[in-house]
Amino acid sequence: MLTESRFIRACRRQTTDTTPIWFMRQAGRYMPEYRAIREKVTMLEAIRSADLAHEITMQPINAFNLDAAIIFADILTPLIGMGISLDFLKGEGPHIDNPLRRTSDIDRLATPPAEETMPFALSAIRQTVADLTPRNIPLIGFCGAPFTLASYAIEGGGSRNYEHTKGMMYSEPAAWKRLMERVVTVLSDFLAKQVEAGVSALQIFDSWVGAVGPRDYAKFVAPYTKQLIEAGQKTGVPVIYFSTGTGTMLDQITALGSDVVSIDWRMGVDKAWSEIGYDKAIQGNLDPLLLFAPWREVQANTDAILAEANGRPGHIFNLGHGILPGTPVETVRRLADYVHEKAARLEQVAL
């Protein structure tokens, strides 16, 4: 773990010379270098090639002044080893041919170790860490949160209402418990193996959890997410928990115990941090759509976020969700430079 890197110091709420910045989905379709690779291979082929995953991970690091890399992969990949048939359909996204709709489907799920099912991901991590370490840039490993992965597996793809997921939660609570326990087993092992391969931090993505209310979150989600966070923390690296649409549940999210809470753009950093508590680091939270706006709007909103953070140690600048396809590359470059320069000036004024 690169403990003296700007990003890791911020995860530990230690002082930094300026605010660290990285972007969720910083390697992806908005970059022409990435599109050139994807013209030749499918999404799964890119993920399953350690060389390609390494190359894609490094593309934004070589293009922008970023403080962390995140390994190129997909949160759904662990489901394949469990026996779920996953593919990525052009123009549609993830698609599962055998969604979990019956209790017998859950009982057939396997829980194999990551070395057997995802050796390509671990190899990509080792290659990437070898390139990043001399530059003092840490690599972030990640996985999906149990609720988000379970929802994909049950729904078979994207969903607006999560009818099948909530139906199983309410009508088959014992089956839901078995499913979540198996997912946690697989993900806990995957996180540990990523740290063994060399990542310096872990992020858990709970992109769909805003679909449940506070009572359901407490009963059906939080116990398993907490188990996963604790498993990640046993590796000794900082753990970031990211969720969307959960501004009304920050008390429950805080109780999960992650080292860093990553928030979306629906509330201010100042308000969120005061609710989370200043004993935790915070990550966020520019609206990804603002990157399509004129620079004056990007700059004004960036200034507002930095002002809300108020120079307090432990702020990591990021978007409130991932970079969207079509995002102007020059805006990404300009924003990374601007955050460093603006935050450094604020730090000097504070001193």
Tokens of 343: 């935050």
**Could you count the other beta carbons within 10 Å of the beta carbon of residue 236?**
8
Tokens of 9: 């110091």
Q: For residue 40, what is the DSSP state?
A: T
Compute the distance between CA of residue 162 and CA of residue 212 in angstroms, rounded to an integer: 9
Compute the distance between CA of residue 72 and CA of residue 95 in angstroms, rounded to an integer: 19
Compute the distance between CA of residue 233 and CA of residue 249 in angstroms, rounded to an integer: 22
Per-residue pLDDT averaged across 110-123, rounded? 97
Residue 64 one-letter amino acid: F
pLDDT value for 157: 85
Query: Which residue, chain included where needed, has tokens 């609720």?
Result: 147
Given the DSSP bridges, would you call strands 315-316 and 139-144 parallel, antiparallel or unpaired? Answer: unpaired
Per-residue pLDDT averaged across 110-125, rounded? 97
3-state SS assignment for residue 24: coil
Compute the distance between CA of residue 114 and CA of residue 231 in angstroms, rounded to an integer: 15
Residue 265 one-letter amino acid: W
Tell me which residue of 233, 268, 245, 320 sits closest to 11, measured CA to CA. Answer: 233
Measured CA distances, 8 to 153, 226, 258 (Å):
33, 22, 14
Global pTM reads 0.96
pLDDT band for 251, please (50, 70, 90 cuts).
Answer: very high
Interval 71-98: pLDDT, tens: 999 999 999 999 999 998 877 789 999 9
Among residues of the chain, what percentage have pLDDT more than 90? 93
Mean pLDDT of the chain: 95
Residues involved in catalysis? 25, 29, 38, 74, 152
3-state SS assignment for residue 111: coil
pLDDT band for 160, please (50, 70, 90 cuts).
Answer: confident
pLDDT band for 348, please (50, 70, 90 cuts).
Answer: low
Tell me which residue of 167, 242, 169, 166 sits closest to 202, measured CA to CA. Answer: 242
Interval 269-282: pLDDT, tens: 999 999 999 999 99
Interval 200-240: pLDDT, tens: 999 999 999 999 999 999 999 999 999 999 999 999 999 99
Among residues of the chain, what percentage have pLDDT more than 70? 98
pLDDT value for 114: 97
Instruction: Specify whether the CB–CB gap between 148 and 210 falls below 8 A.
Output: no
pLDDT value for 108: 96
- Whether 350 has a pLDDT exceeding 60, the answer reads no
pLDDT value for 349: 57
Question: What would you report as the CA-atom Rg of the chain, rounded to the nearest whole angstrom?
Answer: 19
For the domain with range 6-350, which CATH number is right: 3.30.390.30, 1.10.10.10, 1.10.150.110, 3.20.20.210? 3.20.20.210
- Whether 347 has a pLDDT exceeding 70, the answer reads no
Question: Minimum mean pLDDT among 18-22, 85-89, 295-299: which range?
Answer: 85-89
Given the DSSP bridges, would you call strands 281-283 and 260-262 parallel, antiparallel or unpaired? Answer: parallel
- Whether 351 has a pLDDT exceeding 70, the answer reads no
Per-residue pLDDT averaged across 5-20, rounded? 97
Tell me which residue of 338, 335, 341 sits closest to 291, measured CA to CA. Answer: 335
Tell me which residue of 53, 42, 47 sits closest to 80, measured CA to CA. Answer: 47
Residue 56 one-letter amino acid: I
pLDDT value for 158: 82
Cis check: omega of the bond before 285, within 30 degrees of 0: yes
Measured CA distances, 284 to 59, 181, 227, 271 (Å):
22, 30, 24, 13
